[in-house]
Amino acid sequence: MTQSISATYKHELVITQTNVSDANLQSASDSIRQSTSLSFTSGTGANQADRAYTNEFTLASGSTTVLDLTSTSVFTDNFNSSAVMARVKEITITNPTATYGSNTGTLEVGSGATNPWLGFLKDGTDKVTVRPGGQISFHAPDATAMAVSTASCNLQFEASGGNVSPQVVILGASA
C-alpha cells in the first residue's frame, strides 16, 4: 500500500487596539496582524513529509510518560503503519481546557531522562510549560528539520496540578 501526505499549517493572530480620548471622545485604533502558513507535500526534502503521528492520552497529576520517537511498536500512524521519523518537520502539542474532560493541570514537555530528544530544546533539562487551553508548535520545514536518532528520541510529558489529556500531532520525514 502506498501512502502519501499533504499538510497545511496555518496560524493567524490579529490584534486591534483602540484608544478613546476622554477630552474630545475621539478614538484611534491600530491593528497588528501576524500570520504563518506552511505547506508540505509528500516526500523527505524541504517542505516535504512522509510520516504523520497523532495521539491523545491522559496523565494523572504528578505522573509522566515518555514518547519514544523511534519505537516501531508505539510510534504508528492512523493506519497502523510505522510513523518512525528521522526528522520532525512540525510538532504541535495542545493541553485542552478544563471543559475537556477532567483536564485541569499544567503540562510540562521536555526530554526523556535517557536518550533525550532535543528537537526544539537546548538541552536535556529544558521544559516547556503548556497551561490548560494552551498550545505549542514548532516548525522546521527545511531538509535538516529536527533530527531524531536512537540516541536522541525520547520526549517526556508530565502532569502537574491536575490531570491532563495532551493532544500530540507530529509531521516528519522518514529519511
All domains of the chain in start order, with CATH: 43-173 (2.60.120.770)
Contact by Cβ (8 Å): 135, 92: yes
Q: What angle do CA 124, 97, 87 make, to 5 degrees?
A: 35
* C-alpha cell at position 25: 471622545
Which secondary structure element, helix H or strand E, spans residue 54, and what is its range? strand 51-56
What does the pLDDT read at residue 100?
59
Within 10 angstroms of residue 48's Cβ, the number of other Cβ atoms is 19
Cell of 163: 490531570
pTM above 0.85, yes or no: yes
Within the chain, which residues score under 50 in pLDDT? none
pLDDT, position 13: 86
The predicted pLDDT at position 22 comes to 66
Residues found in the chain = 175
In 3D, which of 164, 168, 11, 155 has the Cα closest to residue 71? 155
In angstroms, what CA-CA distances link 32 with 9, 44, 124, 155?
Answer: 20, 35, 36, 35
